[in-house]
């Protein structure tokens, strides 16, 4: 949108953005699964009571309007092109076939989904990693050896095997989306896992089910074990990579996948190098979470202290 929202600058939830987002997801996740609720939601969408549910598109419309007014007054400079400008350019280019509704929908997706996948991924990796001192130490040593200055590029970080194993494993035990991402069976039907499904049937599988399947991951499927990704068994690694689907697969893969992975790869080494984190949720093996489409951490309490810059210091 060409500017920061300002959460870090001000230190609080600006305009109750995050709270309203969660209320919106609570309603949207229900209507997405219980289709008979949709007529009721459409009816109440005109009422004040629906303000939370309508918050995301309203926020997107407001940001589009603010950006349009701002660019009319300011000359173009050397700043990077915001995504919102690309949306508006596509609207003006009639060959793109974009409508105002399409622009609002895409802008809303950036607000609603843009930060959650990375935030959920970081919450999960911090929870599991900092409760495993030996795994945390191993990661710190790898980062200290290959990234002692703390300025490694994304490409360099991708070559750190244990860092990548930790990120993969955290996304396996706690994928960000907790609902099946349905597909529609094409004309002629389809045979899936030995069962025939007629055309038009909605079929899907929850990534939480896939990621805890012992036939794929072994009897320790419920455990956080990054070392499983360090295997030299190429055939086993190929199977695990095939069934690791935190962002879904195919034509409906999350379009923000690469941005989310980039953010996690850049942020996690800085957290590990610079902060000691004490997780207060000691009695639960898994991270407490609420599933409202995104499976967000719930009552995740931790004490954060600035630590040493390197393992050797």
Query: In which residue ranges of the chain is CATH 1.10.630.10 found?
Result: 116-306
Tokens of 300: 């995740």
Q: Produce one character per residue of 186-211: b if its CB has 16 or more CB atoms within 10 Å, e if not.
A: eeeeeeeeeeeeeeeeeeeeebbebb
- Among the residue ranges 55-64, 160-169, 252-261, the one predicted with the least confidence is 55-64
Q: Which residues are annotated as a binding site?
A: 254
Q: What is the pTM of this model?
A: 0.81
Instruction: Give yes or no for residue 305 having a pLDDT over 70.
Output: yes
Q: What CATH number was assigned to the domain covering residues 116-306?
A: 1.10.630.10
Q: Is residue 123 classed exposed, middle or buried when 0-12, 13-18 and 19+ CB atoms within 10 A define those classes? A: buried
Please tell me the distance from the alpha carbon of residue 256 to that of residue 262, in angstroms, as a whole number. 10
Instruction: Give yes or no for residue 310 having a pLDDT over 50.
Output: no
Query: What pLDDT does residue 252 have?
Result: 78
Q: What is the DSSP string of 4-52?
A: ---HHHHTS-GGGHHHHHHHHHHHHHHHHH-GGGHHHHHHHTTSGGGTT
pLDDT in tens, 256-292: 888 889 999 999 999 998 899 988 766 677 788 888 8
pLDDT in tens, 176-201: 988 888 899 999 999 998 999 999 99
Q: Which residues are annotated as a binding site for heme?
A: 254
């Amino acid at each position: 949108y060409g500017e920061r929202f300002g959460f870090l600058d001000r230190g609080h939830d600006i305009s109750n953005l995050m709270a309203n987002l969660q209320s919106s997801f609570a309603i949207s996740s229900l209507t997405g699964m219980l289709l008979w609720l949709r007529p009721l939601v459409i009816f109440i969408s005109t009422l004040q009571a629906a303000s939370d549910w309508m918050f995301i598109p309203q926020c997107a419309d407001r940001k589009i309007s603010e950006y349009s007014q701002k660019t009319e007054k300011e000359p173009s400079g050397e700043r990077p092109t915001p995504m919102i400008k690309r949306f508006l350019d596509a609207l003006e280019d009639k060959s793109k076939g974009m409508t105002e509704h399409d622009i609002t929908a895409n802008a809303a997706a950036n607000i609603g989904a843009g930060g959650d996948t990375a935030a959920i991924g970081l919450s999960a990796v911090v929870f599991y990693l900092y409760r495993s001192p030996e795994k945390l130490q191993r990661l710190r040593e790898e980062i200290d050896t290959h990234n002692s200055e703390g300025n490694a590029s994304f490409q360099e970080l991708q070559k750190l095997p244990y860092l990548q194993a930790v990120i993969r494993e955290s996304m396996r035990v706690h994928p960000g989306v907790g609902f099946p991402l349905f597909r529609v069976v094409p004309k002629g039907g389809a045979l899936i896992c030995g069962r025939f499904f007629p055309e038009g049937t909605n079929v899907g599988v929850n990534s939480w089910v896939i990621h805890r399947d012992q036939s794929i991951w072994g009897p320790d499927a419920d455990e956080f074990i990054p070392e499983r990704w360090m295997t030299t068994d190429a055939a086993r690694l190929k199977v695990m990579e095939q069934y690791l689907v935190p962002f879904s697969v195919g034509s409906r893969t999350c379009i923000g996948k690469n941005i989310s992975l980039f953010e996690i790869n850049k942020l996690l080494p800085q957290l590990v190098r610079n902060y000691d984190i004490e997780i207060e949720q000691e009695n639960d093996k898994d991270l407490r979470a609420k599933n409202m489409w995104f499976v967000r951490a719930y009552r995740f309490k931790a004490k954060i202290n600035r630590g040493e810059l390197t393992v050797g210091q």
